[in-house]
């Protein structure tokens, strides 16, 4: 029997593995549970996605440098993408992190690439022209937002060799402003998110740091008896930082002095007003340590993750957390939180009960049925079928050499009763193939009113999917322009009242994984449901009600003066 | 023909004719029945029926039908106190991981004059299975196995488990394989291989072994349990339920129902899960202990109450959650899962101060507990890292599980028999156990163990001091 041979070559044994990992999965993939599969196979998916990557000439690949065979933890992180309409032509452009190399025990960067959307017919790479290459950075994350309130989105790239901040000049080019703005961070940055933490109308920046790995701290590690990438437990976490925007083009570095926790192994970060107090809170997904929930107390934070139920899973255990998104899955007009976790850990859906209290709702929402075989990264919640509620898209892919690196991505339909159903697709569809997924973004690439999807992978080309789902529903896209509040209106809360119900959306910063979705808000409603009004609570606290929004329309809404 | 067909002639015949003499044959039959009755009474008086029951029980034990054996033995006990019955009850208790009951029956068997050699052997088997294997016990075990006794399977099971507890996996494999060659139909071998594979984090192989065990014997409970647990862990709750359902009655019922309830949660059927958990939790912790022992998983937590409390917290039934979580924490204050949900529950019920206290405790404990990840990696990289083993054991012992904590500390002695820190820890542990028990024999046993471990420290000091 194979076991017996294995026993004789025993190297890694632990009784603890039974304690901790009893019933865990190994390399065998079971996928969704059989009853769920049966249920799904009886009905065809209402979703259709067409891969238009080649059609629009997108050719973008994240190289993690694994060909050097260093088995460095740096290889595992991958890279994301940001949606940024940098030329303000109304079509979303894309910026991708490109990774780097690890040859000769040296980390070198590949920076990133900017792809200009030519009226949805083609994507054209304009990295050099726009001066956003940052090739000194082994890049992971990218975020976009209007940091100087000039109407043009700026760009931030995070990675192993620090940061690169690109200020949009408004003429199709950027100015690399990091060192001038005092914006120097040599630590290993992963995800970042913008948000006006001190409510001064300027976007500040939260940067998640990972661990203290370097080639001088690169222990040999094994998995299943073979050399493999080290687990995060082999390293010490690094404290995150906040860069407070002083409004004059400079930033001041803050950390524990404004309440940030010590250490943490940050991979994902999202900024949103979870507590309905018009202050943007921050949630950080940490790898194997408690996740942080920073309650904004007005420019300073109180970390209350453990107290409010969002730091750990229902068993009180910290997870290998990576991807994040917010949504109101149960339509109770409170902003819930979804966290994508490592293998053998369920997705964590935290239901917002108000007063900054959350409840672990994975099982009540039917997400336990997804199983724990996925190493889940980027996650977005958006209404893909225009039925009024937000669905999930999740990118998956393994990190260990001892496991198959490619995994199936997931699309979960919100059934409207607070539960989710996994969708199946025909052969050859993107969702039927296994990928080394990392980032995922949802945006209206072709301005047809439905949300398209972009995926980033490790050592595989990025993929762009056109949403070709047949839906009779209506849609609205509302882009907010802050005047008193930050220009991107991060932290705004939007309520639409229809003849049947009230729905909520929020403008959030960061999220997914190492990525940035657009700040505009997309709504879908089933045919026949009439939108009566839109109520906006701006981050400044100003309320605004808009009526007569025609269906299937885009609106640019400016914040009224106080 | 008529006479043959009925002993009683009709009344008409009686009145009309002269009464016939009773047939000689009837007298003979009556005499025979009388003799039989006398013999039977003698047999009863001499414990014959008990012996039949005991033989049935012994045969059931060999086939790992422990519950059936218990039934036979309970029946036998009703017929009187027989030393052999108590010996077998002790054996059943040992297999069911109940050393206290085992000791009780061994003492009784001893009082009734049962063979001291066999009683000592049974105690040795317990020590073997707990991994308390020294050179003398080891040679005894090997000698027994070479003799191929009628209970060879039990010896091999105990020895293999002990080797596993000492992390001596390849030796355990050899012992089991040898036995398997002689007894290819015994499901125990596959069960033990399954357990070993789980230790190896190879759950697919473990699953295969458990399935093989069940092919050989579909009623082999320990494999039923472990296979269902793996299925549930692999997000196949329906398969787990199908495996467990036939065992929802009898000794394992409460454990089985708790796991089925967990599977319902995986389906998202929280109400059904809650209903089942209530039916188990309301019976109390003590009621469920045996059900876990028979599936080879002695409980340290009040799992049903803990799961129910966590579930009620998820459902927002805060008052109910508080009730059940308190029950769980009363049984085991180290129940980290329950404590975490309890802190949330207290907060939601407005007991802010108490919640803060709980959260503070959780944070402090977690800080310590998190070191396990690093220590485990260290052991993975270097199996002979004795210090990491001891530290991990101490943390687990303090914050999670006494059993697993002891396992890790003991495992250090496999790599360094003179590890002072491990001996000190185990010496302290057995001293505290001796203080806790009122059973004289048990106390003596703990004191002896403590003395042994403290003695090891002493001898090392002497070795160092000697030059």
Distance CA A244, CA A248 (A): 11
Query: A25 vs B383: CB contact, 8 Å cut-off?
Result: no
What are A244's two structure tokens?
Answer: 């407070």
Residues of B in contact with A290 (CB under 8 A): 366
* Backbone dihedral angles phi then psi of residue A70, each to the nearest 5 degrees: -85, -15
Query: A23 vs B230: CB contact, 8 Å cut-off?
Result: yes
Query: A28 vs B203: CB contact, 8 Å cut-off?
Result: yes
- With a CB cutoff of 8 Å and minimum separation 6, the contacts of A161 are A107, A109, A136, A137, A138, A186
Residues of A in contact with B404 (CB under 8 A): 15-16, 19
Q: Å from B201 to nearest chain A CA?
A: 6
Element (H, E) at A49: strand A49-51
| Best CA proximity match to A192, nearest among A178, A183, A205, A176 | A205
The interface pTM score, or ipTM, of the predicted complex is 0.82
Distance CA A441, CA A328 (A): 18
Query: A13 vs B383: CB contact, 8 Å cut-off?
Result: yes
* Buried/exposed A549-560: b ≥16 CB within 10 Å, e otherwise: beeeeeeebebe
Query: B380 vs A14: CB contact, 8 Å cut-off?
Result: yes
Q: How confident is the model at residue B200 (pLDDT cuts 50, 70, 90)?
A: confident
Residues of A in contact with B372 (CB under 8 A): 16
- Asked if pLDDT for residue B12 goes beyond 50, the answer is no
Contact present, A522 and A445 (Cβ < 8 Å) = no
Rounded to 5°, angle at Cα A482 from A477 and A484: 155
Distance CA A435, CA A316 (A): 31
Q: Is A288 on the interface with B (CB under 8 A)?
A: yes
- With a CB cutoff of 8 Å and minimum separation 6, the contacts of A376 are A322, A323, A340, A341, A342, A347, A394, A395, A396, A410
Residues of A in contact with B167 (CB under 8 A): 13, 15
Coil, strand or helix: which one is B76?
A: helix
Task: Name the residue of chain A whose CA is nearest to B234's CA.
Answer: A25
Distance CA A431, CA A407 (A): 10
Q: Give the best residue of B165, B349, B377, B402 to mutate against chain A (max A CB count within 10 A).
A: B377
Query: B396 vs A16: CB contact, 8 Å cut-off?
Result: yes
Residue B3: Cβ within 10 Å count: 10
Contact present, B447 and B430 (Cβ < 8 Å) = yes
Q: Is A55 on the interface with B (CB under 8 A)?
A: no
B268 closest CB neighbour out of A8, A10, A419 = A419
Residues of B in contact with A219 (CB under 8 A): 381
Query: A15 vs B380: CB contact, 8 Å cut-off?
Result: no
Lowest mean pLDDT, pick from B10-24, B249-263, B448-462 = B10-24
| Per-residue pLDDT at B105 | 93
Task: Name the residue of chain A whose CA is nearest to B389's CA.
Answer: A14
Query: B205 vs A3: CB contact, 8 Å cut-off?
Result: yes
Average pLDDT over residues B321-332: 97
Q: What is the DSSP letter of A333?
A: S
Residues of A in contact with B339 (CB under 8 A): 316
Q: Å from B72 to nearest chain A CA?
A: 34
pLDDT tens-place string over residues B43-66: 666 666 777 888 888 899 988 888
Tell me the residue ranges of DSSP E strands in A306-374. 321-327, 336-341, 348-354, 357-360
Lowest mean pLDDT, pick from A308-312, A523-527, B207-211, B234-238 = B234-238
- Asked if pLDDT for residue B141 goes beyond 50, the answer is yes
Cut 0.90: pTM above it: no
Contact present, A539 and A486 (Cβ < 8 Å) = yes
Residues of B in contact with A32 (CB under 8 A): 235
Q: Given the DSSP bridges, would you call strands A474-481 and A553-558 parallel, antiparallel or unpaired?
A: parallel
Task: Name the residue of chain A whose CA is nearest to B316's CA.
Answer: A359
B314 closest CB neighbour out of A4, A306, A363 = A363
Q: How confident is the model at residue B235 (pLDDT cuts 50, 70, 90)?
A: confident
Distance CA A518, CA A443 (A): 6
Q: Å from B226 to nearest chain A CA?
A: 9
Phi/psi region, residue B332 (left: phi>0; alpha: psi -120 to 50; beta: rest), is beta
Query: A222 vs B374: CB contact, 8 Å cut-off?
Result: no
- Asked if pLDDT for residue B9 goes beyond 90, the answer is no
A315 closest CB neighbour out of B169, B177, B337 = B337
What are B404's two structure tokens?
Answer: 């697993």
Residues of B in contact with A368 (CB under 8 A): 235, 265-268
Find residues 296-325 of chain A whose CB sits inside 8 Å of chain B.
306-307, 309, 312, 314-316, 318
Residues of A in contact with B356 (CB under 8 A): 307
CA dihedral B131, B136, B139, B140 (to 10 degrees): -80
pLDDT tens-place string over residues A472-520: 899 999 999 999 999 999 999 999 999 999 999 999 999 999 999 999 9
Residues of B in contact with A2 (CB under 8 A): 205
Rounded to 5°, angle at Cα A493 from A487 and A498: 125
Instruction: Give the mean pLDDT per block of 10 residues along chain A (562 residues).
Output: 35 29 29 37 69 98 96 97 97 98 94 96 97 93 97 96 92 89 88 98 97 95 86 92 94 95 94 96 96 97 95 92 96 97 93 95 88 92 95 96 92 92 92 97 97 98 95 94 97 96 97 98 94 96 94 96 77
A361 closest CB neighbour out of B205, B310, B314 = B314
- With a CB cutoff of 8 Å and minimum separation 6, the contacts of B434 are B443, B446, B447, B450
Query: B377 vs A14: CB contact, 8 Å cut-off?
Result: no
Find residues 413-432 of chain A whose CB sits inside 8 Å of chain B.
419
What are B276's two structure tokens?
Answer: 């089942």
Contact present, B267 and B258 (Cβ < 8 Å) = no
Q: Is A38 on the interface with B (CB under 8 A)?
A: no
Coil, strand or helix: which one is B71?
A: helix
B237 closest CB neighbour out of A21, A25, A33 = A33
| Per-residue pLDDT at B20 | 57
Task: Name the residue of chain B whose CA is nearest to A230's CA.
Answer: B377
**Chain A / chain B CB contacts < 8 angstroms:** 187
Distance CA A395, CA A405 (A): 12
| Per-residue pLDDT at B3 | 33
Task: Name the residue of chain A whose CA is nearest to B396's CA.
Answer: A16
| Per-residue pLDDT at A320 | 95
Residues of A in contact with B373 (CB under 8 A): 231, 233, 288
- Asked if pLDDT for residue B18 goes beyond 60, the answer is no
Coil, strand or helix: which one is B234?
A: coil
- With a CB cutoff of 8 Å and minimum separation 6, the contacts of A313 are A319, A341, A345, A346, A348, A360, A362
Average pLDDT over residues B377-393: 88
A30 closest CB neighbour out of B234, B362, B377 = B234
Residues of A in contact with B366 (CB under 8 A): 290, 318
Position with higher pLDDT, A402 vs B302:
B302
B229 closest CB neighbour out of A22, A33, A312 = A22
Q: In what order do the strands lie in the sheet with A437-443?
A: A49-51, A463-467, A452-457, A437-443
Contact present, A409 and A428 (Cβ < 8 Å) = no
Query: A372 vs B235: CB contact, 8 Å cut-off?
Result: yes
Taking only Cα atoms into account, the Rg of chain A, rounded to an integer number of angstroms, comes to 22
Distance CA A485, CA B242 (A): 58
Residue A92: Cβ within 10 Å count: 23
Residues of B in contact with A361 (CB under 8 A): 314
Query: A366 vs B268: CB contact, 8 Å cut-off?
Result: yes
- Asked if pLDDT for residue B150 goes beyond 80, the answer is yes
B238 closest CB neighbour out of A14, A25, A33 = A33
């Amino acid at each position: 029997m194979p076991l017996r041979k294995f026993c004789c070559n025993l190297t890694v044994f632990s009784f603890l593995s039974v304690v901790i990992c009893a019933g865990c999965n190994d390399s065998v993939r079971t996928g969704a549970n059989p009853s769920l599969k049966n249920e799904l196979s009886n009905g065809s998916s209402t979703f259709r996605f067409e891969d238009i990557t080649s059609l629009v000439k997108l050719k973008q690949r994240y190289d993690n440098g694994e060909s050097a065979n260093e088995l460095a933890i740096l290889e595992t992180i991958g890279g994301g993408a940001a949606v940024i309409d940098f030329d303000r032509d109304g079509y979303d452009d894309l910026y991708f992190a490109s990774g780097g190399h690890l040859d000769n025990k040296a980390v070198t960067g590949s920076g990133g690439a900017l792809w200009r959307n030519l009226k949805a017919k083609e994507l054209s790479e304009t990295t050099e022209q726009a001066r956003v290459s940052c090739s000194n950075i082994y890049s992971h994350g990218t975020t976009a937002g209007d940091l100087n309130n000039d109407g043009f989105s700026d760009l931030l790239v995070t990675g192993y060799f620090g940061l690169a901040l690109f200020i949009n000049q408004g003429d199709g080019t950027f100015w690399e402003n990091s060192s001038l703005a005092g914006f120097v961070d040599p630590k290993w940055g992963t995800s970042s998110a913008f948000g006006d933490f001190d409510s001064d109308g300027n976007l500040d920046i939260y940067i998640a740091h990972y661990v203290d790995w370097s080639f001088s701290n690169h222990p040999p590690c094994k998995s299943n008896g073979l050399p493999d990438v080290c687990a995060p437990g082999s390293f010490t976490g690094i404290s995150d930082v906040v860069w407070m925007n002083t409004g004059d083009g400079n930033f001041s570095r803050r950390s524990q002095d404004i309440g940030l926790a010590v250490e943490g192994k940050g991979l994902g970060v999202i900024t949103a007003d979870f507590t309905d107090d018009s202050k943007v809170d921050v949630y950080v997904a940490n790898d194997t340590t408690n996740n942080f929930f920073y309650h904004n107390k007005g420019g300073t934070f109180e970390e209350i993750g453990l107290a409010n139920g969002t730091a750990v899973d229902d068993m009180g255990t910290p997870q290998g957390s990576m991807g994040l998104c917010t949504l109101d899955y149960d339509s109770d007009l409170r902003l819930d939180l979804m966290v994508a976790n490592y293998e053998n850990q369920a997705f964590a859906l935290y239901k917002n009960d108000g007063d900054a209290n959350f409840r672990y709702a994975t099982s009540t929402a039917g997400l336990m049925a997804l199983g724990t075989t996925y190493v889940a990264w980027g996650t977005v919640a958006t209404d893909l079928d225009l039925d009024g509620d937000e669905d999930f898209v999740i990118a998956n892919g393994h990190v260990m050499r001892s496991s198959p690196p490619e995994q199936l991505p997931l699309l979960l339909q919100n059934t409207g009763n607070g539960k989710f159903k996994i969708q199946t697709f025909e052969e050859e569809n993107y969702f039927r193939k296994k990928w080394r997924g990392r980032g995922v973004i949802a945006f209206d690439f072709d301005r047809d009113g439905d949300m398209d999807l972009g995926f980033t992978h490790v050592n595989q080309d990025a993929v762009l999917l056109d949403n070709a789902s047949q839906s009779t529903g209506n849609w609205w896209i509302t882009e907010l322009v802050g005047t008193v509040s930050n220009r991107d209106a991060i932290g705004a809360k939007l309520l639409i009242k229809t003849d049947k119900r009230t729905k909520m959306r929020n403008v959030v910063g960061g999220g997914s994984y190492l990525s940035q979705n657009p700040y505009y808000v997309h709504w879908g409603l089933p045919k026949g449901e009439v939108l009566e009004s839109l109520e906006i609570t701006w981050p400044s606290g100003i309320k605004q009600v808009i009526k007569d929004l025609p269906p299937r329309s885009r609106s640019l809404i400016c914040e009224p003066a106080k | 023909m008529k006479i043959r067909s009925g002993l009683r002639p009709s009344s008409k015949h009686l009145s009309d004719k002269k009464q016939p003499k009773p047939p000689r044959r009837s007298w003979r039959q009556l005499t025979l029945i009388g003799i039989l009755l006398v013999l039977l009474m003698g047999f009863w008086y001499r414990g014959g029926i008990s012996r039949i029951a005991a033989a049935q029980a012994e045969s059931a034990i060999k086939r790992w039908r422990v519950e059936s054996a218990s039934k036979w033995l309970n029946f036998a006990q009703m017929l009187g106190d027989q030393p052999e019955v108590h010996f077998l009850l002790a054996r059943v208790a040992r297999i069911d991981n109940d050393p206290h009951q085992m000791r009780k029956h061994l003492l009784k068997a001893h009082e009734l004059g049962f063979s001291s050699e066999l009683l000592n052997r049974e105690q040795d088997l317990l020590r073997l299975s707990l991994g308390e294997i020294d050179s003398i016990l080891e040679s005894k075990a090997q000698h027994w196995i070479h003799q191929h006794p009628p209970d060879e399977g039990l010896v091999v099971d105990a020895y293999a488990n002990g080797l596993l507890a000492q992390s001596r996996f390849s030796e355990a494999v050899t012992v089991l394989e040898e036995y398997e060659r002689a007894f290819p139909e015994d499901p125990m071998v596959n069960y033990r291989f399954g357990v070993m594979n789980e230790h190896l984090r190879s759950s697919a192989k473990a699953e295969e072994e458990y399935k093989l065990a069940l092919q050989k014997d579909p009623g082999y409970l320990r494999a039923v349990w472990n296979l269902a647990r793996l299925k549930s862990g692999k997000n196949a709750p329906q398969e787990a339920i199908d495996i467990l359902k036939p065992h929802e009655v009898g000794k394992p019922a409460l454990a089985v129902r708790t796991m089925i309830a967990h599977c319902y949660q995986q389906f998202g059927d929280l109400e059904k899960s809650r209903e089942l958990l209530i039916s188990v939790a309301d019976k109390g912790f003590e009621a469920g202990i045996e059900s876990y022992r028979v599936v080879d998983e002695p409980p340290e937590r009040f799992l049903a109450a803990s799961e129910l409390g966590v579930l009620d917290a998820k459902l927002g039934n805060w008052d109910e959650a508080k009730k059940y979580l308190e029950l769980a924490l009363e049984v085991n204050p180290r129940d980290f899962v329950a404590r975490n949900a309890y802190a949330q529950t207290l907060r939601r019920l407005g007991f802010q101060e108490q919640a803060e206290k709980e959260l503070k405790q959780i944070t402090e404990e977690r800080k310590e507990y998190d070191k396990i990840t690093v220590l485990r990696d260290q052991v993975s990289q270097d199996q002979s890292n004795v210090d990491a083993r001891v530290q991990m054991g101490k943390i687990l012992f303090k914050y999670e599980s006494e059993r697993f904590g002891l396992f890790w500390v003991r495992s250090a002695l496999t790599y360094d028999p003179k590890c002072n820190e491990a001996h000190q820890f185990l010496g302290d542990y057995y001293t505290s156990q001796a203080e806790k028990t009122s059973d004289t024999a048990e106390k003596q046993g703990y004191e002896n163990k403590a003395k042994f471990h403290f003695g090891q420290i002493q001898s090392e000091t002497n070795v160092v001091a000697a030059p």
